[in-house]
Structure 1
């Protein structure tokens, strides 16, 4: 009986050692299995950042034709037989062709973003031109006859003027082109009968027609 005590103690120690080894083995296997398990997502490193794409550069907007202010242009036809003036505001234009004697035509239309224009008037009159820098180069067609022209930017008082009224029962419609060199070309119609226009005062637009004082106004589209 006295010898069995140490044996029990020995067996108890061995049993405890076996249990501890088994626990350690199980714990290590579980940790290993978790770390290598399929689908396990490692936590991102605190220093890892995702670069945000910078703002994309917006293309420069094309110039708006409505941004153009009011500008007048005046010049002569290539054969020097007539004058042409064009008044531009935004995307609209009004033009006047005049030989100062009997032939004239008012035309109007649109101006495109690239400065090109196609204007039309009575009796099939047409004007095609291109605005570039400080001039308009183009062709005006009157009664099926084309005239090339160049109209330079008009600095006031040069430009395009018009007066419409009634004098002694007659309908008066006058158009004037004041060229950059000071020359004037114009026609006054009395009940649609054309004749050379009297000179206007380009500073004020004052003019006398058939003894009646009138005021010619700058033409604006």
Structure 2
């Protein structure tokens, strides 16, 4: 009976030792388990971020700018004198076309026509080799006109009614009649009437109505347009 005390103490110590070992083992495995999770997290390869998607190419730069629509010079009339002040020139524009009249008020005259380019240049032609080369800049036309192998420089400024170019083509007392008039900005008139091929200085017209009396017969001259 006296030996049971030390044995009990020995067994109690062994039991306590086993409990401590068990706790240490459990704590160590837990620590190791958390450590493995941490190691696994740190060693995992980083997930690559997705490459930026390429958007559709912009079409703004590649879209051609709308082309400008060519427009002819505005419809208008011009009248002026030659550089030597011996004759007059009038030009009427409409829809990219032009008609012109050169007249010295005595015997020299010529009607010309043609196209007007978008830049204001024009090359008009008439009978017997007559031609007119001009350029519209701003409110005037500068150029040269060739009639019967003679050349004149001229400047024609914009004409506002009643100034401008007038024409009357009819029959008077059985004769073919063709008359042309240039009414300048200061009111002066220059014209020729041709009756069956015979030119003569034209009588003045009333620019407000176009009325004119030729050989005792009243006729009406109208603004000349292409």
Give the shorter-chain TM-score range. 0.7 to 0.9
Q: CA deviation at 1:218?
A: 0.8
Kindly indicate whether residue 144 of structure 2 is the aligned counterpart of residue 139 of structure 1: yes
How far apart, in 2, do the equivalents of 1:173 and 1:77 lie? 23
Kindly indicate whether residue 28 of structure 2 is the aligned counterpart of residue 14 of structure 1: yes
How far apart, in 2, do the equivalents of 1:176 and 1:195 lie? 12
How far apart, in 2, do the equivalents of 1:81 and 1:64 lie? 37
- TM (norm. structure 1) is 0.78
- The aligned residue for residue 48 of structure 1 is none
- The aligned residue for residue 193 of structure 2 is 188
Work out which of the residue numbers 152, 159, 179 in structure 2 matches 1:154.
159
Kindly indicate whether residue 92 of structure 2 is the aligned counterpart of residue 87 of structure 1: yes
- The aligned residue for residue 130 of structure 2 is 125
Over 3 Å counting, the alpha-carbon distance change for 1:147 and 1:67 in structure 2 is closer
What is the Cα-based RMSD across aligned positions, in Å? 3.0
- The aligned residue for residue 3 of structure 2 is none
- TM (norm. structure 2) is 0.77
Work out which of the residue numbers 69, 76, 81 in structure 1 matches 2:81.
76
Task: Answer whether contact 2:122 2:135 (CA < 8 A) is retained.
Answer: yes
Over 3 Å counting, the alpha-carbon distance change for 1:145 and 1:67 in structure 2 is closer
- The aligned residue for residue 72 of structure 2 is 66
Q: Highest CA radius of gyration, 1 or 2?
A: 2
Q: CA deviation at 1:67?
A: 5.5
How far apart, in 2, do the equivalents of 1:104 and 1:71 lie? 22
Kindly indicate whether residue 221 of structure 2 is the aligned counterpart of residue 209 of structure 1: no
Task: Answer whether contact 2:131 2:146 (CA < 8 A) is retained.
Answer: yes
Task: Answer whether contact 1:200 1:216 (CA < 8 A) is retained.
Answer: yes
Over 3 Å counting, the alpha-carbon distance change for 1:142 and 1:63 in structure 2 is farther
Kindly indicate whether residue 46 of structure 2 is the aligned counterpart of residue 34 of structure 1: yes
- The aligned residue for residue 6 of structure 2 is none
Task: Answer whether contact 1:94 1:108 (CA < 8 A) is retained.
Answer: yes
How far apart, in 1, do the equivalents of 2:158 and 2:69 lie? 20
**Structure 2: which 5+ residue stretches go unaligned?**
1-10, 53-57
How far apart, in 1, do the equivalents of 2:73 and 2:101 lie? 23
Q: CA deviation at 1:173?
A: 1.3
Q: CA deviation at 1:147?
A: 0.8
**Structure 1: which 5+ residue stretches go unaligned?**
44-51
Task: Answer whether contact 2:112 2:131 (CA < 8 A) is retained.
Answer: yes
Over 3 Å counting, the alpha-carbon distance change for 1:134 and 1:14 in structure 2 is closer
